[in-house]
Amino acid sequence: MAGSSGLGGGARGGQGPGTGPGAALRAPRAPLLLAALLLGAYSLCALPGRCPPAARAPAPAPAPAEPPRAARSPGAPGLPVARGPGRRRFPQALIVGVKKGGTRALLEFLRLHPDVRALGSEPHFFDSNLMPRTLDGQITMEKTPSYFVTREAPGRIHGMSPDTKLIVVVRNPVTRAISDYAQTLSKTPGLPSFHALAFRHGLGAVDTAWSAVRIGLYAQHLEHWLRYFPLSRFLFVSGERLVSQPAAELGRVQDFLGLRRVVTDKHFYFNATKGFPCLRKAQGSRRPRCLGGSKGRPHPRVPEAVVRRLRDFYRPFNRKFYQMTGQDFGWD
C-alpha cells in the first residue's frame, strides 16, 4: 500500500508531474513517439500507391526547355543566321549620301543586279532581324543619306568594318538645297521662303546653320570621313549623270563593287514628263516602273540673284572637293 500511496500520493503531496524519480527518462517519450509516427507516415507516402492523392505533395513542374540558340554568322558576329540558303551579314557597301542627291534612284537601279541584296531606306544594318540573307558572291547594301553629314557615322562604321565600300551620290549643291527645301515645303506649307532661310538679314551672309545649305559643303564632310577611311574606299557618283546617263554611272558603280556589268542601257528609258530615267523592267515585275511620285516634284521659283549668291558661296568648296576626289563635277 505504501508503494501505491507513494505513486498516487506524489500528486496529492504537491509534487508536479515532471518531478520525482525517473522523470528525466519519462519526459521525452511523447515527443519521440510523435516524431516516429510522422517519420513513418512520410515513409509510407513516399512509396507509390501508399498515400492518398490529397496528401501527396505535387511534383515540381518541369523546367521550361531552353530555346535553341541561333547559329552565328561568321561574316557578321552577333547576327543569327536565317534558316535557308545564304547567311546574314553586315553590309559590305553603304550609300552614305547625300540627301536629295539621287541615292534612292541609285539603290533602286542596283536592285536590278542579281548579286546585290539591298536593304530598304531605313538604317538597320545593326538590326539582325532585318538583315537579308545573301549567298557567297552577293553583296549586301544599305543606304542612309544622312551618314555623310553625321559626325559620329564614320567612326561607328569603321569600327564595324574598316573594309566597307562607301558610295556618295553628289549633286550641284545649289540645286540640291532647293530640292531639299521643296521636299520640306511639301510637308510644311507655312515654311518661310527659300532665301529667307538661306541668308541672314535679307541677302546677308549665307546661313550655314541651315541644314539645306550645310549638306552641300561636301569638302568639309569628306575631310572628316578621310580621318577614318582612305580615299580608295569611296566612289563619288554624279547625281546629274545618274539622270542623263544612268547606265554609264551604274557601270562605274558595278565596277567599284566588283560586280559584273549586268545593269545596262537596256534597263532604262527616259520619262520626259518626270524628267527622270525609269526602269523598263523593275525587279519582280513585268511592267516598267518609275520612282515614287515624290521624285521629280517641281521646285519653287527662287530669284536669280539668290541662285548667283549661292553659286559664289559654294564655288571654293566645290573646287576643293574636285581636288580631293580627283573629279570635276562641272557645277561652276
Burial class (CB in 10 A: 0-12, 13-18, 19+), 213: buried
Burial class (CB in 10 A: 0-12, 13-18, 19+), 170: buried
Is 251 marked as binding a ligand? no
Cell of 55: 496528401
Catalytic residue list: 100
For residues 54 and 15, give the distance between their C-alpha atoms in angstroms, rounded to a whole number. Answer: 46
Is 146 marked as binding a ligand? no
Cell of 307: 541662285
Is 100 marked as binding a ligand? yes
Q: Residue 145: CB partners within 8 Å, gap ≥ 6?
A: 95, 96, 97, 98, 99, 100, 101, 103
Is 297 marked as binding a ligand? yes
Is 103 marked as binding a ligand? yes
Is 295 marked as binding a ligand? yes
Is 171 marked as binding a ligand? yes
Cell of 253: 558603280
Is 18 marked as binding a ligand? no
Cell of 133: 540573307
**Is residue 229 within 8 Å of 194, Cβ to Cβ?**
no
Is 296 marked as binding a ligand? yes
**Is residue 97 within 8 Å of 148, Cβ to Cβ?**
yes
For the chain, strand residue ranges (E) read 72-73, 76-80, 87-88, 93-97, 116-118, 133-134, 139-143, 165-170, 234-238, 268-271, 276-279
The residue to which cell 527616259 is assigned:
270
For residues 170 and 149, give the distance between their C-alpha atoms in angstroms, rounded to a whole number. Answer: 12
Q: Residue 317: CB partners within 8 Å, gap ≥ 6?
A: 173, 216, 217, 218, 219, 220
Q: Which long-range contacts (CB under 8 A, 24 or more apart) does 123-132 make?
A: 123/147, 125/90, 125/91, 125/94, 125/160, 126/160, 128/76, 128/78, 128/79, 128/80, 128/88, 131/76, 131/79, 131/88, 131/89, 131/90, 132/88
| Strand partners for 143 | 95
Binding-site residues for 3'-phosphoadenylyl sulfate sit at: 100-104, 171, 179, 295-299
Binding-site residues sit at: 100-104, 171, 179, 295-299
